[in-house]
Structure formats: C-alpha cells, structure tokens
Structure 1
C-alpha cells in the first residue's frame, strides 16, 4: 500500500505542465495523488486553476508519468534515496509553508529536516582567510545550540560551513542543484559522503540531472526556505549568495550578514545587506539567539509546558486533531492553507471546521480564516 502511494506521489510530479501550486490544488480537492489519476474530466475541470489544457495534460500524460515513477522508485531503492512528498512527515515543515516549495524532495542521509534549529550559512566561492576564519567561528559558536547547518556544497564558504559542522559534530545538509546521485563539484565527494551519516544531501532534481546554471537560483530557495535564518559571510554585490538572501527576505525569514573590510570586494555584499537593512549584523552567536528569540522561546516553552492546551483524542476525530495541531502552531490560518498543512481535503475541511466551531475551540474569521480559541 505504501509503495503504491509512493508511486502516485512521484508520478504526479511527472505530469506535463502541472506545477507545484496546481499539484497541491489537485491533491487538496481530490484527496490524494492516486485519486487525481482516477478523477474523471468533469471533476478535474471543477478544480480552480485546472482548465481544459491542464485536464488534458493529466489524462493524456498519466500513463507516461506512472512509467517514469516506476523507474524513479527503482533508482531510489538502489541508491538508498528517500522520496519525500510534501505531505510526508519527514518533509521540511519550514519549507512546506512556502508557496513555491518543491512537491517532491530526494534525500540521502540520516538528518532530521525538521530539527528544532536550522541555520543556513552561505557566501562567495572565493572565500578569503577572514571568511574562512569567521565561518569556522560561527559554526563552533553554534555547537552548544544544537543547530543544523545548511548550505549548498559549493566551493568557498559553503564547503567551509559543511566541513566545520562535520568537525563540530553538528548535522549538516547540502542542498544540491543536481540529481541526488550527482555530486557537484566532484572534489567535495569525501565531505558529501561523510554528510550522509551526519546530516545528508537534499535536492528537488530527479536522478541524472546535471547542475545547469538555471537550477542554482531554484536550489537557493530551498536553502533559504528550510532555515530559520540565512547567514551571509562573504559575497560580491552581484552574486548567487545575495539572491539567496533576497529569497529569504521575501519569505519573511531572518537574514544576517557578517560585516567585512570595506576595501574587500567580497565584503560588499554583506555590508550592503546591513546598510540597506535587509540583514542584521552578525558579530557573535548571541546576535543570532536574540534575533530569533531562542532564549525567550526556551524560557516560554519551559513555562508553558504545563499550560499548553491538550486536546483529548476521545473528544475529537482524526481530522479535527490534524486541524487543531496546525492551529496550535499558527493560531489562525486561511482555509486553503489549513487544507494542505493539515492534509485534510477541502471537500471535507468545511464540515471539520464546522464541528470544531460547535465544540467552541475554533472561530471563523473574515477572509475564510479560522482562529484557535483556546
């Protein structure tokens, strides 16, 4: 049963012309990827965003998509690659909340992609001795905070961050712009192999994908999206690193930058981010702790453990508990977001929310929003 579910999860990502947002819409309305493939044309056409062209793509492309999925599943088994559909509990929750997040991730390793604290460290490929020293210091300072370090496995700051994390005993994830079995650059293979037992390698690209230039900005959104904060160590003004910082900023994620020598070209990027107030200055780990309120979070968590609302499974059904779990984290959500975060189909969610309103734990708000009352 699980193997069949995986087959359809992979297959839906191979349908022509169906992007991430439409895929979520399809799964939300149909209930599962398998149900999408079984849906008649009339039902598909009733789903918002699915017109005649997309419905035809689904119907005509289903057979080829399933054949491709079978091949991908075989490769994944051979190479010990985990296929993480966006509904999987192992899929990064931070990334899942972003509109353009990948539908399917390919993951090799043992890291917890939902670790409590995750920080990205990025920077130039032409790292200076200052950049190397600072990167190693940042990672060493993160050690007592039990942080997962994410970067892009590239030359320069990226590989320095991965290497420092390995030495510090911290888990580290390399996000790649290639297929899961294609290590780029190849000279970093020895570090990549160590990361498989102390973190892992993550990509949205299917097996055999080469690291073409257009794939790197897409890779950068994963780095930014799955982290609590992106730290820029060194970067030129026009660089992929600043693209990553801009993406993180657009996601309302925190960005920090290490101040640098005003005469150094690779300090222009961080200094610009700080000057333009797109990033907070990083001078020590305490700057990060205070920016992310980790100290307050720990204190509040300890204080509220006994006061946290507990929902008795005997009083709520499975779908109601899923919705309540999401609302416990965000307090309020729009109906569409609730549907895919809680993995309750839109067709069922309305009745679930109505039931929760009758029980006095949820309140309907303007704009199809729902708020937790307890």
Structure 2
C-alpha cells in the first residue's frame, strides 16, 4: 500500500466527529480514501451526514501532522495493518457497519478458519466459571476454533490461556495501542499469545487504555466472531455490552447460567431469560447451534439467473451469492455503488424475486 493512501486513512481516523460509519460513507461517495481529501468542500457537504461540523475538522493541519507522525512510526517499525476493503481484513468484522477502517496487528494471526468465537465475562470469575471455561475450550479443540477475547483479567485471560494450552489460535483485542500493555501483569502472556495468534487494535501505537476505548474495543470482539460466549457477568458489565453488540450484528450469543443468588451469574441469567442468549451447558450446544458437526456442502454458484438482470443487478447478485447476507453499506462499498442508487436497485431486485430484505438493512439472495 502506498504512503498517500495510508496517510489518508490515518487522517480520517484522527478527525474529530468522524467515526467508522462516516469515514466509510466519505470513501464510498468520493470513490477512494485519498479522494476524500482532494474533494471540494461543497461536494462533501452534499453527502448525507457530512456538514460543516465535519469538514471543519477534516482538513485540520494538526490532524495531518499527527497522521504523518503515526505513518512514520508504522513504516519505521514495519507495523502490520489491514484496511477494511483489503482481502486480509477479518471477514466477519467486515460485515459490521461500524467496524474500523484500519486495524493494526501483531503476531501470527491466520484468519482462514471461519470457526471464530469470542469468550468474555467478568473480571471476578469464580472457580465455577474458570472450570467451565477451561473445559469448554478443551472440548471444542477437535473443531479447531479461533478464540477471541479482550486480554483483561478474569474470563478474558482464562480464555486466552485455555486456547494456548490446547494449541488453538487466540486473538487478543486491545483497548490501546500496540506499544502499551494493559493490565501490566499480563505482559507475561504476550509471547505465548503472539506465538499462538496475536493482537489486534484500532488504536495508534501509543494510545493509552482510557475508559472509552474499552467500549469501542467491545464491538471488535463481537464483530470478529461468529458467536459470543458470556461466562459469568454481574447485572451490569462490559461483557453484557459485548453481548448486546453481537445481537445487533445478528450473531449468536451464548450465556452460562448460574445460581440465582450468585452476583456474577445475574447478567448471564438475565440474557437467557430475556431471549438475548442461548443457554450454554456444554461445548455440544455451540457445536450444534453453529452447525460445526455438519459436513460443508459444495454448492455451485449460479453465474446467471433466468430473470433478466442489468449489469449492476448482476454484480450485486453475484456478490451476495458468494458472500451471503450483507449490510446495505457493505454492498455499496463492495459493488462500488452510491448508497442512494443501490437502494433503488435493491428494490427492483426484490420485486423481481431475486433478493429479499432482512432486519437491520441486510439483504440476501
């Protein structure tokens, strides 16, 4: 990737009032990340959601200087990263509308296995939770899943170390830059995690672990995975936020039940009671629900439908046929179509019986 493109991504990340959703909207509307900063302000203002409150920060010289400094660090240290339109960007995360436009990575991460699960929960786990977590990962070993967590105290580090003990890949999603480590006591696990997977973060190399970063980190933990597993949680907690995000992404959520009187089972019990999570009693529940016990069928892709489709409709159909259900914004990005134009095309395709809409602005063949 050339320096100009990477610098443009960093400038977008550095811009106040521009999160991942608006950044992708700008990239889609202008055609490329570099074009965002070449476009006239009047043209940018025509983009839905982009006003003067955004553009006044977009061209801020301080952001440019900060981005240039980070670019220099990345190049000097040969830091690994993935752009959200790159082939090596995590596939499940790519389907999340608010996924970061840029991820930084360290370690030996191999995401060619689609059996990816996140395991999170309280920092104050009991022996019941610890024993279940260790047994769960051991029982899932034969399916060779990738275990994702947040490298925090309690359930997180238990999930990582259980994966390492069973020679499974594990990915730690950080709430800070790769030059930081939190908590400090977990520094002793860094080498093992790097050898058996690695670290992922959206934050620049020296970003400290401030409170709001942990909430942002949770969406990556949920988005990376096919399913999120909650092992012990109080009535309120960060793992419940992760479960809520996973549900919003239409991913499966599992929760370990506990005694009604146990403080750190109340969150899980409530998830199950409110139909926000599947009851989890053994590894078999995950294997069955995620169809890991079924052989993968080889389904030929139909290259052309019997109904007449124009070029754009055929492009959309082929993309959905190959990638399954997708978000409206993701289809727009991958098919290189403005969102307003895509919405009209999707309506026509729905009328032709080619696609069907799903909750959350998602579509499938």
TM-score normalised by L of structure 1: 0.83
The answer for the alignment partner of 2:95 in structure 1 is 97
The aligned counterpart of 1:11 is 11
Residue 327 to residue 8, structure 1, CA distance change in 2 (3 Å): farther
Structure 1 residue 170: Cα displacement: 0.7
Q: Does the 8 A contact of 2:119 with 2:228 survive in 1? A: yes
Q: Assess, with a 3 A threshold, how the Cα gap between structure 1 residues 230 and 348 changes in structure 2: closer, same or farther.
A: closer
Deviation string for 1:76-100 (max 9, x for gaps)? 2444432222212222222222232
* Corresponding residue of 2:307: none
Contact 2:41 2:55 in 1 (8 A): yes
Unaligned ranges ≥5, structure 1: none
- Structure 1 residues 262 and 139, CA gap change in structure 2 (3 angstroms): same
Identify the residue that residue 251 of structure 1 maps to in structure 2. Answer: 249
CA contact (8 A) 2:320 2:364 kept: no
Q: 1:127 aligns with which of 125, 128, 134?
A: 125
**Structure 2 counterpart of 1:82, from 80, 97, 100:** 80
Q: How much has 1:349 moved relative to structure 2?
A: 7.6
Alignment RMSD (CA, Å): 3.2
In structure 2, the residue matched to 1:22 is 22
SS in 2 for 1:184: coil
Query: Contact between 1:236 and 1:265, CA under 8 Å: does it hold in 2?
Result: yes
Question: Which residue is equivalent to 1:43?
Answer: 43
Count of aligned positions:
353
Contact 1:8 1:34 in 2 (8 A): yes
Deviation at 1:331, TM superposition (A): 5.7
Q: Deviations over 1:248-298 (max 9, x none)?
A: 2232221111122344322222222222222111122221022122334x3
Aligned equivalents of 2:197, 2:180: Cα separation in 1: 17
Find 1:166's aligned residue among 164, 167, 173: 164
Equivalent runs, 1:171-250 vs 2, <5 Å: 171-250=169-248
Higher mean C-alpha deviation, range 197-206 or range 95-104: 95-104
The runs of 5 or more residues in structure 2 that have no matched partner are: 305-309
How much does 1:55 deviate? 2.9
Q: Separation in 2 of the partners of 1:322 and 1:364?
A: 10
